[in-house]
Amino acid sequence: MIVLEQVSKSYRSKDGLISAVAPTSLEVAEGEIFGIIGQSGAGKSTILRMMNLLEAPTTGSVIVNGRDLTKCSPQELRVARRSIGMIFQHFYLLQNRTAADNIAFPLEISGVPKKNREQRVKQCLEIVGLEDKASAYPAQLSGGQKQRVAIARALATEPKVLLCDEPTSALDPQTTGVILEFIRDINKRFGVTIVLVSHDMEVVKHICGRIAVMEHGSIVETLDLSGTGQKPTTEIAKLLLGDRREALKGGVAYV
Ligand SMILES: Nc1ncnc2c1ncn2[C@@H]1O[C@H](COP(=O)(O)OP(=O)(O)OP(=O)(O)O)[C@@H](O)[C@H]1O
């Protein structure tokens, strides 16, 4: 579903080149909920943003749904991105548009006729349980409701992949639980492959089947958390996952 082949990302600065991600390969299978964890600055967001070419890799290939995005023309990339939704920590809703019009936005850009747009917006509002907030502006919504609108907007074009960059970091624990349930539901009901970056281990342990652990721009370990009993081997993974892993396996948090 998602294949990163030796992708790397460097930034130019006045002090020379900064390496955000060293040449790294990764495969995420169709239907997975895949987590990316690591300390601040490890390169998590950069690797996620390379999966839809929001960040163009310095080297390597990004293959999503069998298509090498690094070889796409701008027009081809626009089309390919319709099957890759994304949500962010700070939602990034258009403040001067209602919830319904925010959800309609990607459909407008894709040239979907008005009648079909309205139908799809209605469906997406239903998926996130916000039918009654169609006419509300972002300023009139709570953080959790804003993220639900952002999820609905990401789903509007019926993506096969949903990239989630710290989707619950601006939310309280209870709202975090609600958002995680929506993400899990979308994965189950529609088979959408989810890649989720989070610094919150409880979030990751709660919904991810497999995770990649990043340190200094590299994936140092991938782990299966789905009850296989696989133990972390690197120090950083042990540190991040900690002793609470066992305690949380039964889904103590956010239920
Ligand atoms: N646009 C940029 N220009 C220069 N350096 C950047 C840029 N974006 C990221 N970096 C650097 O690349 C490295 C990885 O950043 P990234 O945001 O991917 O880390 P992260 O693991 O997501 O961190 P955090 O959890 O703090 O968000 C950091 O050292 C960061 O300073």
ipTM confidence score: 0.94
Give the bridge partners for 3, in sequence order: 27, 63
Pocket of ligand 1 contains residue 50 by CB under 6 Å: no
Calculate how far, in angstroms, residue 39's C-alpha sits from the geometric centre of ligand 1: 11
Pocket of ligand 1 contains residue 44 by CB under 6 Å: yes
Per-residue DSSP letters for 43-112?
SHHHHHHHTTTSS--SEEEEEETTEEGGG--HHHHHHHHTTEEEEETT----TTS-HHHHHHHHHHHTT-
Give, for all 255 residues of the chain, the pLDDT tens digit.
999 999 999 999 898 999 999 999 999 999 999 999 999 999 999 999 999 999 999 999 999 999 999 999 999 999 999 999 999 999 999 999 999 999 999 999 999 999 999 999 999 999 999 999 999 999 999 999 999 999 999 999 999 999 999 999 999 999 999 999 999 999 999 999 999 999 888 899 999 999 999 999 999 999 999 877 788 999 999 999 885 444 444 443 443
Calculate how far, in angstroms, residue 136's C-alpha sits from the geometric centre of ligand 1: 34
Predicted pLDDT of residue 255: 34
Closest CA to 5 of 74, 51, 65: 51
Predicted pLDDT of residue 229: 78
Q: Which atom of ligand 1 is least distant from the CA of 9?
A: 12
Q: How far apart are CA 170 and CA 144, in angstroms?
A: 9
Predicted pLDDT of residue 246: 46
Predicted pLDDT of residue 226: 86
Q: Which atom of ligand 1 is least distant from the CA of 43?
A: 18
Q: How far apart are CA 19 and CA 66, in angstroms?
A: 27
- Asked if 62 contacts 53 with a C-beta cutoff of 8 angstroms, the reply is yes
Nearest-CA residue for ligand 1 atom 25 is 40
Predicted pLDDT of residue 234: 92
Pocket of ligand 1 contains residue 18 by CB under 6 Å: yes
Q: Rounded to the nearest 5°, which phi and psi values hold at 193?
A: -75, 130
